[in-house]
Amino acid sequence: MRVGDLISVRDLEKNDIVFLFERAEAMEKIIGGGSGLLAEKVVATLFFEPSTRTRLSFQTSAQRLGAKVIDFGAGSGTSMAKGETLADTIRIVDGYADLLVIRHAVEGAARFAARIAEHPVVNAGDGGNQHPTQTILDLYTIKKLKKKIKGLNVFLVGDLKYGRVMRSLMYGLGMFEANVALVSPKGLEMDAEAVKEVRQKFGIEITETNEMSLNEADVLYVCRIQKERFTDVYEAERVQKEFRITKEQIEGCKEDMVILHPLPKIDEIDSSIDKSPHAKYFEQAKYGVPVRMAIISELLKKK
Ligand code: NCD
């Protein structure tokens, strides 16, 4: 990898991601076998927004490679509750750890942290902006399940306005030349500039609609309505109820269509679908570990 921090998929080239796929394949083989690759290293996780998968899979990944993990915990138990700034907090943790993983509600927070820290910084989500490690694991999952990415019809369904996962993934899909269909409720469309950038940069086909017609999909990538980023919570709940994937909705879909979701899912996918052969989101979540093992080890190798 050419970069010393992982802040945005826009900083990466296709080759970097293909290389990480290879490393993740290798990591899959050593999970459970024990590895001292990162013995003596300390990885810090700082999550200023809620997280289950991203935080725990980063911690698992570090530990499976023999590193130790320190966790910032809930902000209320730290000096940030006394008014310490993010900048000072980063400086301090940078003095304790060899790599910092950060999630923050403010767009650009990870880039800001990377400027301050001397050690590698990984963006685990900054507001509605970017979630690069999720994108790499999403692309890895698609490649695993469908054996290719190029030419697949990938439908991104849900809140495309506030979903950082969707914004990052659209860019990644552009890089790998998939055909992208953006399907969102009215008012929650993907940022027009981001769409334009991916179209121009990669020349891929991107369609946009507010209708749930999903029959042509090879991959249905669903995400929840990002309620916490709405100014009107009632509006968020209304949209969430109206935009759901049900068994009826996927009846006419391709037999080998797969449904992915970064999770957590609330009620945008009917729970009866969990048992269908289309549903691959739990498998997807598992790939978070080898992919993040690959990312951490590569970044630590550089410094
Ligand atoms: C996502 C996130 O935090 O952006 N979750 C995740 O990392 N797996 C998606 C979401 O919260 O909807």
- Which residue's CA is the nearest one to ligand 1's atom 7? 54
204 lines ligand 1 (CB under 6 A): no
E strands, the chain, in order: 42-47, 68-71, 99-104, 121-126, 153-157, 179-183, 206-209, 219-222, 258-260
Atom of ligand 1 nearest to the CA of 53: 8
The finding on whether 263 has its CB within 6 A of some atom of ligand 1 is yes
Atom of ligand 1 lying closest to residue 226 CA: 12
Which residues are 220's β-sheet partners?
A: 155, 259
Residue 34 falls in which region: left (phi positive, over 0), alpha (psi -120 to 50) or beta: left
56: Cβ contacts below 8 Å, ≥ 6 apart: none
Is the distance from the beta carbon of residue 265 to the nearest atom of ligand 1 less than 6 Å?
no
CA nearest to 22, candidates 299, 290, 300, 303: 290
Compute, in angstroms, the gap from residue 104 CA to the centroid of ligand 1: 12
Which single residue is written with the structure tokens 């966790």?
71
Span from the CA of 114 to the centroid of ligand 1 (angstroms): 21
- Spatial distance between the Cα atoms of 105 and 126, rounded to a whole number of angstroms: 5
Instruction: Give the 3-state secondary structure percentages of the chain, helix then strand then coil, rounded to 5.
Output: 45, 15, 40
How far apart CA 197 and CA 192 sit, in angstroms, is: 9
How many whole angstroms separate alpha carbon 29 and alpha carbon 10?
29
Tell me if 253 CB under 6 Å of ligand 1: no
Contact call for residues 72 and 46 (beta carbons, < 8 A): yes
Residue among 123, 138, 217, 124 at smallest CA distance from 170? 138
In angstroms, what is the span from residue 48 Cα to ligand 1's centroid? Answer: 13
Query: Is-contact 265 274, C-beta < 8 A?
Result: no
Whether the CB of 224 sits within 6 Å of ligand 1: yes
Span from the CA of 14 to the centroid of ligand 1 (angstroms): 23
Two tokens, residue 54: 């991203």
Q: What is the pLDDT of residue 142?
A: 98
3 state DSSP class of 269: strand
Regarding the beta carbon of 164 and ligand 1, being less than 6 Å apart is answered: yes
Residue 27 near ligand 1, beta carbon < 6 Å: no
Residue ranges of the chain with pLDDT lower than 70? Answer: 75-76, 302-303
Cα 7 from Cα 274, distance rounded (Å): 32
- Taking the centre of ligand 1 as the mean of its atom positions, its distance from the CA of residue 40, in whole angstroms, is 30
Whether 134 lines ligand 1, by a CB cut-off of 6 Å, is yes
Give me the pLDDT at residue 84, please: 86
> How far is CA 47 from each of CA 66, 129, 151, rounded to the nearest angstrom?
22, 16, 36
The two three-digit tokens of residue 28, written as one number = 């899959």
Calpha distance 279→285 (Å, rounded): 12
Does residue 167 line the site of ligand 1, with CB under 6 A? no
Task: Note if the bond before 264 is cis, omega within 30 degrees.
Answer: yes
Q: What is the pLDDT of residue 303?
A: 52
Please indicate whether residue 165, judged by its CB atom, sits closer than 6 Å to ligand 1.
yes
